[in-house]
Amino acid sequence: MEYVSRPIGPRTGETQTAGFRALNPKEKVPVLVDGDLVLTESAAIVTYLGDRYGGLTPEPGSIQRARYNEWLSYILMELDAHTLYVIRKHGDLKHLYGEAPAAVDAARAGFEKQLRWARPRIEAEGHLVGGGFTGVDILMTTCLDWAVAYGFDLPEPFLAYLGRQHQRSPFMEATRRNSTS
């Protein structure tokens, strides 16, 4: 699949330009434009790409797709929104959202508690759904990388999982593209 990547820094002011707001009035990245379709949320983008172009999502209506959706919800809500983003808002971005040490402490504890649910699956299968790589592995990798950046000591199964994800050639290419933009 050919595509054009246009790197946009989230806190550079680029998301507040008229051109960007025409694509995403929420003024946030990521944004995917595929023909007339514009999608603006990571999970929707990953799932759409898997459904449209193959390779990232189980068959709609299947049991594996139900598991994919379960993992998707867990990653987005329990790991990302309820924990890691709270740490980001009231830590790195406290100048915008205010400092809240108790909220950060609770979010750290919540992340560690919620991560326990994923451990048996990571240990047994090495991927989250159906024994192979899917879009939820992309999102889990993002959350685990973020957790490492915030100083979490991840248990070994998660470190091994991250190592495998980081060795995937698409991950290495995406990292290369992001580091040169």
Residue 166 within a domain: yes
- 78-131 pLDDT, tens digit per residue, is 999 999 999 999 999 999 999 999 999 999 999 999 999 999 999 988 899 987
Assess whether pLDDT exceeds 90 at residue 2. no
The burial class, CB within 10 Å (0-12 / 13-18 / 19+), for 64 is middle
Residue 47 within a domain: no
Q: Return the CATH number at 85.
A: 1.20.1050.10
Encoded amino acid at 137, one letter: D
Residue 85 within a domain: yes
Supply the range of the domain harboring residue 164.
63-170
Collect all residues with Cβ–Cβ distance below 8 Å to 9 and sequence separation of at least 6.
Answer: none
Q: State the chain's maximal CA–CA distance in angstroms.
A: 48
Residue 21 within a domain: no
| Chain centroid, CA 153 distance in Å | 19
Alpha-carbon distance of 154 to 115, in angstroms, equals 9
State the average pLDDT over residues 9-38. Answer: 89
Assess whether pLDDT exceeds 90 at residue 11. no
The number of distinct structural domains making up the chain is 1
| Chain centroid, CA 69 distance in Å | 14
pTM value is 0.91
Residue 145 within a domain: yes
Collect all residues with Cβ–Cβ distance below 8 Å to 154 and sequence separation of at least 6.
Answer: 115, 144, 147, 148, 162
Alpha-carbon distance of 49 to 18, in angstroms, equals 26
Collect all residues with Cβ–Cβ distance below 8 Å to 72 and sequence separation of at least 6.
Answer: 43, 47, 135, 136, 139
Residue 120 within a domain: yes
- 33-57 pLDDT, tens digit per residue, is 999 999 999 999 999 999 999 889 9
